[in-house]
Amino acid sequence: MTTPHSASGSTVYTAADPDEVRHIDDLDEQADLYAAPGEPSEGRVFNAVGGDWNDIVGEVGSRPEERIVVNMGPQHPSTHGVLRLILEIEGETVTEARAGIGYLHTGIEKNMEFRTWTQGVTFCTRMDYLMPIFTETAYCLAVEKLLGITDQIPARASAIRVLMMELNRIGSHLVCLGTGGMELGATTVMTIGFRERERILNIFEMVSGLRMNNAYVRPGGVAQDLPAGAIQAVRDIIPELRQGIRELELLMLENPILKGRLVGIGYLDLTGCMALGITGPMLRSAGYPLDLRKATPYCGYEKYEFDVPTRTGADAYDRLWLRVKEMWESLKIVEQVVAELQDNPGPVMVEDKKIAWPAQLSVGPDGMGNSPAHIAEIMGTSMESLIHHFKLVTEGFRVPPGQAYAAVESPKGELGCHAVSDGGTRPYRAHFREPSFNNLQAVAALCEGAQLADVIVAVASIDPVMGGVDR
């Protein structure tokens, strides 16, 4: 075991044998005590092996030309995915912070160019796996703009989209608060957050058959109507969600320990948000009430009563506070949508049969989502229907040439899809404005000059998901 101490301005490593004393300045290319013989070293290497940490930090600080670079990630529990943070530190202070992304790149956007427009939904839903419904909706809204059928989408389909998005918003915020609490050592916050999210995932499974990566929203509407009992199931979980959110409020918002860790941390004012293209809770924490559900309503959001909460502290605490309040507003919308759906039955897919996939599906005896009545019709009574179904599923519908952009207000900010068609049955290009990607640009502004431990808080307040960042 070797221990460092100072002598004549140079670091001395004293071995267990008192006769073996080695000065780092005398080691030349063997500055790394653990390097193999003949292996060159890159700059001076400091080996902290025992001793008093304050002495070690002081020794490094006495050499202004030296710096310590720390890799946080790419595998780290506090980075919400495979995010690499390259931090240059002086003692415990971060002097430079850079984000390294791309470790979770899956080629989703490129793969969509080789699938039909409808099949594209099954790809983009896998981007940000905490808010799949929003990605699906943004993509389908862009495709519907290209088709010119935006005004033909059934009101019930739009209401179902709103219902699923607002439940998804609550679920995404619960994961943000739960994982953020866990990173700070508050495991109770995590258990409550994930407990409440389970209630929402049960609804998603009932409606779409899947808990995540739902592929439920389709161009022209949704894959199928709400199954029997779904509306009552949503009504049943609303008071349970309300109680769970209240528990989180009581645990977090006025907790002096949490406020001591979050207030004033990760500060980014309105000017910085505007310069970096930051949206969502980060922008609203700086006092700007931008919410696309109010600014440019889609899917009938103009019919619902809800508020857009804002704060002015522009720090990690305000972002946490906003996410809690946004969950309350989402519950307001869910209650209104449930009442609307109860009183207004109707179709959930556009009428144009050249576009509409069968939307009245049910699980058949083979466990697949095929309506037995629909299969019996196309297989037994109408050869034309069988041919049409075959072409629609295998070849897909054609989309007129052009380009369109559609955006929704996701839990993390503006989520947009730019779809380009060359007149074929597949996207020529589909590109997403993913809010986590844009918001991660703020890492340097949030972290530089702060303490190393505060990097965890700052990144958690961004709430990035690397599946959406890297795509």
pLDDT above 50: residue 6:
no
Q: Which of 139, 142, 144, 137 is nearest to 160 (CA)?
A: 137
Tell me, what amino acid is at 438?
N
Tokens of 264: 């004033």
Average pLDDT score over residue span 295-318:
90
pLDDT digits (tens, 9 = 90+) for 137-154: 999 999 999 999 889 899
Sole residue written with tokens 């992304």: 101
Least confident of 204-208, 250-254, 384-388: 384-388
Q: How many CB atoms lie within 10 A of CB 348?
A: 25
H or E segment at 14? strand 10-14
Tokens of 190: 């995590």
pLDDT digits (tens, 9 = 90+) for 94-126: 888 888 888 888 889 999 989 998 889 999 898
pLDDT above 60: residue 358:
yes
Sole residue written with tokens 């860790």: 261
* Interstrand relation of 402-410 and 413-421 (parallel, antiparallel or unpaired): antiparallel
Better pLDDT: 181 or 335: 335
pLDDT digits (tens, 9 = 90+) for 260-271: 888 888 888 899
pLDDT value for 4: 43
pLDDT above 50: residue 184:
yes
Residue 252: pLDDT band (50, 70, 90) is: confident
pLDDT value for 80: 60
Residue 37: pLDDT band (50, 70, 90) is: low
Across-strand partners of 97?
Answer: 87
H helices, E strands: number in the chain: 18, 11
pLDDT value for 198: 93
DSSP per-residue letters across 386-405: HHHHHHHHHT-----SEEEE
Least confident of 53-57, 130-134, 237-241: 53-57
pLDDT above 70: residue 339:
yes
Backbone φ and ψ for 14, nearest 5 degrees, come out as: -100, 120
pLDDT value for 352: 82
Please state, in angstroms and rounded to a whole number, the distance separating the CA atoms of residues 227 and 207. Answer: 6
Every domain of the chain and the residues it spans: 1-50, 112-355+397-433+453-464
Residue 20: pLDDT band (50, 70, 90) is: very low
Average pLDDT score over residue span 252-259:
86
pLDDT value for 137: 93
Better pLDDT: 10 or 144: 144
Least confident of 6-10, 304-308, 313-317: 6-10
- Using DSSP's 3-state secondary structure scheme, residue 330 falls into helix
pLDDT above 90: residue 65:
no
Q: Which of 209, 198, 208, 120 is nearest to 161 (CA)?
A: 208
pLDDT value for 409: 92
Q: Are 219 and 182 in contact (CB under 8 A)?
A: no
Burial of 209 (0-12, 13-18, 19+ CB in 10 A): middle
Tokens of 106: 């899956």
CATH number for domain 112-355+397-433+453-464, candidates 2.60.120.200, 1.10.645.10, 3.40.50.2300, 3.40.50.1980: 1.10.645.10
Tokens of 378: 């196309």
Please state, in angstroms and rounded to a whole number, the distance separating the CA atoms of residues 8 and 182. Answer: 46
Across-strand partners of 218?
Answer: 221
Average pLDDT score over residue span 399-426:
92
Angle at 60 between CA 58 and CA 65, to 5 degrees: 135
pLDDT above 60: residue 15:
no
Better pLDDT: 22 or 296: 296
pLDDT digits (tens, 9 = 90+) for 39-55: 555 555 555 555 565 66
pLDDT value for 246: 93
Tokens of 358: 């069968």
Q: Are 405 and 417 in contact (CB under 8 A)?
A: yes
Mean pLDDT (the chain) is 81
pLDDT value for 3: 43
pLDDT above 80: residue 440:
yes
Q: How many CB atoms lie within 10 A of CB 101?
A: 18
For the chain, what percent of residues have pLDDT higher than 70?
81
Helix/strand/coil percentages in the chain, nearest 5: 45, 15, 40
Tokens of 368: 């697949």
